[in-house]
Structure 1
Amino acid sequence: MKIHNSTSEDIPEIFRLYALATEYQKTIFPENTWPTFERTLVENEIQQHRQFKMVVDGQIACIWAITFHDPQIWEARDKDPSIYIHRITTNPEFRGRQFVSEIVNWAKHYAKSHQKKFIRMDTCGNNEKLIQHYKKCGFNFLGMVQLQCADELPSHYQDADVCLFEIKLNSA
């Protein structure tokens, strides 16, 4: 298993995995599924080296994106030096391999090397199974919030309850 930045050549596979994830979401938590994301969103993340892929046996097994600021979701806490993980998507051929735990390990090193004190993540809706999964992967569940302003966020955030998760890193 290796982690790399995604490239523009990965875009078709990224969108294929997003589509498969959305279909899967419809079967397990239909109240809140991902919209179709804008291609420019992914292109910008790739250009800014914020879109990542986990490769196993030459195949993209998992993808995710990060950002260093997320003010509409994290509001005042956005001032904390953090990385924010978004859109973790696992290739169905690789489900069940605990990739979120692998991403957490990667994120701890990545965050420390960029002088960040928190790893943060969110998910829409009260999906208890997903909340428990993220807690098992080391995140503290901070609770659910109703976003005050989501006009710059993808459509699935509009009028959604959002679960907040974080890992506070040791300063060492």
Structure 2
Amino acid sequence: MVIVNSTMEDIDKLFELYGAAASYMREMGAPSPWKGFERPVVAGEIEEGRQWKVIENGEIVAVFLTTYNDPHIWQEKDEDPAVYLHRIATHPGHRGKGYVQGIVDWGKEHARANGKKFLRLDTGAGNERLINYYKRCGFNFLGDVYTNSPALPAHYRGGTFALLEIVL
């Protein structure tokens, strides 16, 4: 498993994996906070070096995004030095192979290397299956938060999110 930055050539694959992940959440009966993504926003994230891909045997098997602040969701906790993981999506044919745990392990090292004290993520509130999965990956559940900030991308507006973190 190798984790490297995504490139503009990967953008269609990113959207394919996001769509597959949203469909999977719906199939599982879980609420999905993903309401569609704006292509220019994702392109900007790629250009900023915040979109990542997990490569196994030459194939993109998972993707995710990093950021160093998330004030509209994490509110006052955003003042803490943290790396935030967003939009983890695993290829449907590769679920259950430990890629999310690999992303979490990479995220912890990435956070430490950047002088951060927390690794954080959020997911749709009420998605107990996914929340419990993240807990098994080492995250602690902190509670839920509602946000409707117009400063957020459209896919996050008007949602309630479960907050999870690992103290490094």
Task: Report TM bin, short chain.
Answer: over 0.9
Unaligned runs of 5+ in 2: none
Task: Kindly provide the CA deviation profile for residues 86-119 of structure 1, in whole angstroms up to 9, marking residues without a partner as x.
Answer: 0000001101112221111101111111111111
Is contact 2:33-2:159 (8 Å) kept?
A: no
> Are residues 74 and 33 of structure 1, via their aligned partners in 2, closer, same or farther at CA, if it must alter by over 3 Å?
closer
RMSD (Å) for aligned C-alpha atoms: 1.4
Task: Kindly provide the CA deviation profile for residues 12-40 of structure 1, in whole angstroms up to 9, marking residues without a partner as x.
Answer: 11111111112112111353351220111
Q: Following the alignment from structure 2 to structure 1, what is the Cα–Cα distance between the partners of residues 142 and 10? A: 34
TM-score by length of 2: 0.94
Amino acid at match of 1:36: G
Unaligned runs of 5+ in 1: none
State, as a whole percentage, how many aligned pairs show the same letter: 45
Residue 113 of structure 2 corresponds to which residue in structure 1? 113
Q: Following the alignment from structure 1 to structure 2, what is the Cα–Cα distance between the partners of residues 53 and 79? A: 28
Task: Kindly provide the CA deviation profile for residues 58-105 of structure 1, in whole angstroms up to 9, marking residues without a partner as x.
Answer: 110000001111000011111111111100000011011122211111
Amino acid at match of 1:23: S
Residue 39 of structure 1 corresponds to which residue in structure 2? 39
- Bigger RCO of structures 1 and 2 (CA < 8 A, at least 6 apart): 2
How many aligned residue pairs are there?
168
SS state of the match for residue 97, structure 1? Answer: coil
**Which aligned segments of 4 or more residues in structure 1 are displaced greater than 6 angstroms?**
none
SS state of the match for residue 149, structure 2? Answer: coil
